[in-house]
A = this chain, B = another copy of it.
Amino acid sequence: MKGFFDYFFVCVVLCLLVYRNPVEGGRLLSLSKPQPDNVAAFARWLVSQSSWGVLNTISSDLGGAPFGNVVSFSDGLPDHGHGIPYFYLTTLDPTASNALKDERSSFAISEYPVGTCGKIDPENPTCSKITLTGKLKVVDGNSSEAKFARISLFTKHPEMKDWPKDHNFQLFKLEIEDIFLINWFGGPKPLTVDQYLHAKLNRFSFAA
């Protein structure tokens, strides 16, 4: 009889989770979407739930133009990100070679592909977007950080570990210096890098 109650209890909890954290893009959002005024947690949620964005560097080949490039990234294991985006790039692609000449960079992510914007427009301020600006740096391949970056990337992007060895993919990270977050009306939310990196995350809490 106890077995039945255990089963029933698990069922009820799962039903509640699914009810309050709708299945988006075929998966249960275990890290629930914070309220827009919970700024640091919201920013971390958006970065953690995303798997790709546009990484920008300065292109000396194109007259110093800002060059955006679609890339995959990871800030940690799913729902357990640390907030710092890691990338797996090759200098065969201009972004990595640009960064080796000029580290100034930004990384832009939209909530739209996460699937939680509903029918509103991607440019509507209630469909959130974040731009992390800073320096794009190579991660020392033998460091403990490289181990973390590799696990983070290869877990979210399993095919990466099979990408061609002769392309010399390297680990990069964005050292964040400024955060631009829009997640509601009224302009960008004030958010320091320190607040972002030390956000208190409310795992499994219920968004209203």
**Copies of this polypeptide in the complex:** 2
Complex contact B52–A131 (CB within 8 A): no
Q: Determine if A140 is an interface residue (Cβ-Cβ < 8 Å).
A: no
A123 in contact (CB, < 8 A): yes
Chain A interface, number of residues (Cβ within 8 angstroms): 48
Max chain B CB contacts within 10 Å: which of A53, A65, A109?
A65
Shortest Cβ distance from A151 into chain B, in angstroms?
16
Judge whether A106 and B72 touch: CB under 8 Å. Answer: no
State which of B104, B160, B187 has its C-beta within 8 Å of the C-beta of A63.
Answer: B104
Q: Which of B54, B88, B92, B109 contacts A56 (CB 8 A)?
A: B54
Do B133 and A67 touch (CB < 8 A)?
Answer: yes
Q: Known A-B contacts: A55-B68, A67-B133, A123-B160. Give 18 more (CB < 8 A).
A: A51-B122, A53-B54, A54-B56, A56-B67, A57-B66, A62-B106, A62-B178, A65-B178, A68-B108, A68-B131, A70-B112, A71-B123, A72-B121, A72-B122, A72-B123, A92-B187, A112-B113, A113-B113
A contact residues vs B (CB 8 Å cutoff):
51-59, 62-72, 88, 92, 94, 104-110, 112-113, 120-124, 129, 131, 133-134, 157, 159-160, 177-178, 180, 187
Please give me the 9 A-B residue pairs with the lowest Cβ-Cβ distance, nearest first.
A66-B66, A68-B108, A54-B54, A52-B122, A56-B66, A70-B129, A72-B123, A70-B110, A56-B68
